Amino acid sequence: MTKLSVNINKIATLRNARGGDVPSVTKAAVDIQGFGAQGITIHPRPDERHITYRDAYDLKPLVHTEYNIEGNPIPKFVEMVLAIKPTQVTLVPDAVDAITSDAGWDTIKHQAFLTEVITEFKRNKIRTSIFMDTDARLIEAAAKTGADRIELYTEAYAKQYAMDAKQAVAPYIMSADIAASLGLGINAGHDLSLENVQFFSQNVPHLLEVSIGHALIAEALYLGLENVVNMYLEKLK
């Protein structure tokens, strides 16, 4: 079964809109794990517009499943990850002003930098993943950095799914096979939803984990958080 890691950034967005601690990010993480999710994902950004660096530390003792911290490895981020030592760190090349992640790494151009960062994380026994597009050359370069996994950026799949699901998923099948042949584990995330996640997980080989936040929290507004988490778990069987 592909694991479900729930990104709780949007819980923090709602909290920050009003101030205070409602809704509680920490309670949400505890509850989501209680509902059956196998992981919690956060993506703190430098401006802390949703998840804050304080949240990242506060969640550490509460996440008893897999704790995945995403972000661009600027010095402050690296320092935080090394202090917390989550289960996994996912490196994402998002710009400071990005609304959301919109591209994977150029692992050829940034290979030396990524290798240096990944070496330090692995020295501290933190599993590493690189956010990637479906480009065979870049996946091959990613394997040379020493990363444990890649996370396939699935926005293109989500956009094309309704028009032609088989065509939409084809590049991801190819990429997953290439990655697996190079010894890389495969994660995926971005715009996956109740509508499209089952087809993706049933067709993409070697898929270890999906990270889902925006769609899951939006769906929970109508269907309830516990119900939605379990609906995803059912689709990922």
pLDDT at site 166: 98
Is 1 in contact with 237 (CB distance < 8 Å)? yes
Please report the beta strands in 85-194, taking only residues with DSSP state E, as ranges in sequence order: 88-91, 127-132, 149-153, 185-189
List phi, psi (to 5°) of 47: -85, -5
Residue 98: band (very low, low, confident or very high) from pLDDT cuts 50, 70, 90: low
Measured at the CA of 79, the angle between CA 125 and CA 209, to 5 degrees, comes to 50
pLDDT confidence of 101, banded at 50, 70, 90? Answer: low
Q: Is the pLDDT of residue 205 over 90?
A: yes
CA atoms within 13 A on the CB side of 45: 18
pLDDT at 94: 80
Q: pLDDT-based confidence at 99, cuts 50/70/90?
A: low
Determine the pLDDT at residue 103.
80
Q: Which of 43, 66, 151, 209 is catalytic?
A: 43
Q: Kindly list the structural domains of the chain, giving each domain's residue range(s) and its CATH number in brackets, ordered by start.
A: 3-235 (3.20.20.70)
Strand partners, 56: none
Q: What is the dihedral of CA 43, 44, 49, 51, to 10 degrees?
A: 80
The residue-averaged pLDDT of 189-196 equals 97
Kindly report whether the global pTM for this prediction surpasses the value 0.85: yes
Task: Give me the residues paired with residue 70 across strands.
Answer: 90
Distance in angstroms (rounded) separating the CA atoms of residues 174 and 29: 34
Report the chain's mean pLDDT, rounded to a whole number: 96
70 is catalytic: yes
Catalytic site residue from 50, 190, 209, 219: 190
pLDDT digits (tens, 9 = 90+) for 67-88: 999 999 999 999 999 999 999 9
In this prediction, residue 174 has a pLDDT band, given cuts at 50, 70 and 90, of very high
What is the C-alpha to C-alpha distance for residues 229 and 88, in angstroms, rounded to an integer?
21
173 has pLDDT over 80: yes
Q: Mean pLDDT throughout 113-142?
A: 97
Which residues on neighbouring strands pair with residue 209, listed in sequence order? 3, 187
Amino acid letter at 16?
Answer: N
Confidence of residue 96 (pLDDT cuts 50, 70, 90): low
Start-to-end CA distance of the chain, whole Å, equals 5
- For residue 219, indicate whether it is catalytic: no
Out of 66, 70, 151, 219, pick the active-site residue: 70
Q: Which two tokens stand for residue 1?
A: 């079964």
User: How far, in Å, CA of 71 to CA of 46, rounded?
Assistant: 9
Rounded CA gap, 100 and 45, in Å?
A: 10
Whether the Cβ atoms of residue 127 and residue 168 lie closer than 8 Å to each other: no
What percent of the chain shows pLDDT beyond 70?
Answer: 97
Mean pLDDT value of segment 156-165: 98
Q: How far apart are CA 7 and CA 39, in angstroms?
A: 9
The pLDDT score that the predictor gives to residue 22 is 97
